[in-house]
């Protein structure tokens, strides 16, 4: 299939957070069974795709160097793997020039790589005039990672299994539009080692009430990156912060606020107290 290419197409790789992450069991193959409430911020990495004879990737942004140092331009880059998977699944012979503006920190508990893969799939779907629905995109690139399906939808959802069994989540808690502040101490926190430090205790299922939400990976992340404790303490001390938690396997933490003014004042306070930390204000999608 030679897809007729369109003009420049842009897409946002929305940052994912885990409002709750309950680890229920460790499988014999090393994977963990979880229950998580996924949510997405209305900001993240930015992608541009344009017609080209082959697939090519260029990186910009404050965290581009971290990707390049870790093989960002290699055959293992998740954006290029997603683009090749799209070509193969839909029989596309066209290429694309892909620009990834890497604005989210790497190994940060924000689903950055999966979000980037999902965003490039959405963008290529338009660029190549594929007309694929969400289910078709999941079939094309879902095998690239457990977080990829939820990042394709980029909507609040409950994840079970290894995170790939998704159920829509009713907005009973009034989450949509809630102001949120992300904070990261600029220290990578790799997912695998954090999961391996889980103590194996099942502390119960994901409930509907926010008071029972938790992140069972927090102790392991604190052991590897003690600075996470300082981030959590700082956010809990901010006026108007209502829910404060670490996201995913860390090291990014977040605070939900009742209004944008309180969130913005908290960001300014963090910048004054900890100028080396990364912050991103936004709202839940």
Concatenating the DSSP letter of every residue in 101-114 gives: E--SPSSSSS-HHH
147 part of the active site = yes
Predicted local distance difference test score (pLDDT) of residue 72:
46
Predicted local distance difference test score (pLDDT) of residue 74:
45
The residues pairing with 246 across neighbouring beta strands, listed in sequence order, are: 253
Percent helix, percent strand, percent coil in the chain, to nearest 5: 30, 30, 40
Predicted local distance difference test score (pLDDT) of residue 5:
53
Predicted local distance difference test score (pLDDT) of residue 75:
47
| Distance, CA of 253 to CA of 135 (rounded, Å) | 31
Q: Omega into 251 within 30° of 0, i.e. cis?
A: yes
Predicted local distance difference test score (pLDDT) of residue 174:
78
CA angle 116, 131, 123 (to 5 degrees): 25
DSSP symbol at 24: E
Predicted local distance difference test score (pLDDT) of residue 210:
82
**The two three-digit tokens of residue 232, written as one number:** 């959590």
CB distance 284 to 176 below 8 Å: yes
| Distance, CA of 145 to CA of 152 (rounded, Å) | 11
Q: If residue 124 lies in a helix (H) or strand (E), which one and from where to where?
A: helix 112-127
- From the candidates 16, 45, 102, 216, give the one annotated as an active-site residue: 16
| Distance, CA of 188 to CA of 208 (rounded, Å) | 31
CB distance 52 to 128 below 8 Å: no
- From the candidates 43, 101, 116, 147, give the one annotated as an active-site residue: 147
194: nearest Cα among 221, 160, 233, 231: 221
Q: How far does CA 57 lie from the centroid of its chain?
A: 20
Q: How far is CA 67 from CA 107, 113, 231, 273, in A?
A: 10, 10, 24, 28
| Distance, CA of 282 to CA of 120 (rounded, Å) | 22
Q: What is the mean pLDDT of each successive set of 10 residues along the chain, which is 285 residues long?
A: 69 97 95 96 98 96 83 67 98 97 96 96 98 97 94 94 85 82 96 96 90 95 98 98 97 97 98 98 97
Phi then psi for residue 154, to 5 deg, are 50, 45
Q: Which domains does the chain have, with CATH numbers?
A: 9-168 (3.30.230.10), 179-283 (3.30.70.890)
């Amino acid at each position: 299939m030679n897809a007729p290419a369109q003009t420049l197409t842009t897409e946002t790789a929305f940052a994912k957070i885990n409002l709750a992450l309950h680890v229920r069991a460790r499988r014999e193959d090393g994977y963990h069974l979880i229950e998580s409430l996924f949510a997405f911020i209305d900001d993240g990495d930015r992608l541009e795709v344009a017609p080209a004879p082959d697939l090519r990737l260029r990186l910009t942004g404050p965290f581009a160097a971290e990707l390049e140092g870790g093989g960002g331009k290699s055959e293992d880059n998740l954006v290029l793997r997603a683009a090749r998977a799209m070509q193969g699944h839909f029989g596309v012979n066209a290429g694309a020039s892909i620009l990834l503006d890497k604005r989210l920190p790497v190994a940060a508990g924000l689903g950055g790589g999966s979000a980037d893969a999902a965003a490039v799939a959405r963008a290529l779907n338009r660029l190549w005039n594929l007309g694929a629905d969400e289910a078709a995109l999941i079939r094309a690139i879902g095998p690239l990672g457990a977080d990829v399906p939820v990042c394709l939808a980029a909507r609040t959802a409950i994840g079970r299994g290894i995170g790939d069994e998704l159920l829509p989540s009713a907005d009973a808690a009034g989450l949509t539009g809630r102001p949120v502040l992300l904070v990261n101490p600029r220290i990578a926190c790799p997912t695998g080692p954090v999961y391996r430090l889980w103590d194996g205790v099942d502390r119960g299922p994901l409930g509907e009430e926010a008071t029972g939400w938790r992140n069972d990976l927090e102790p392991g992340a604190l052991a590897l990156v003690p600075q996470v404790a300082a981030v959590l303490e700082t956010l809990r001390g901010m006026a108007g912060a209502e829910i404060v938690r670490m996201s995913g396997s860390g090291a990014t933490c977040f605070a939900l606020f009742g209004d944008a003014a309180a969130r913005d004042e908290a960001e300014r306070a963090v910048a004054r107290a900890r100028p080396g930390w990364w912050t991103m204000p936004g709202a839940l999608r």
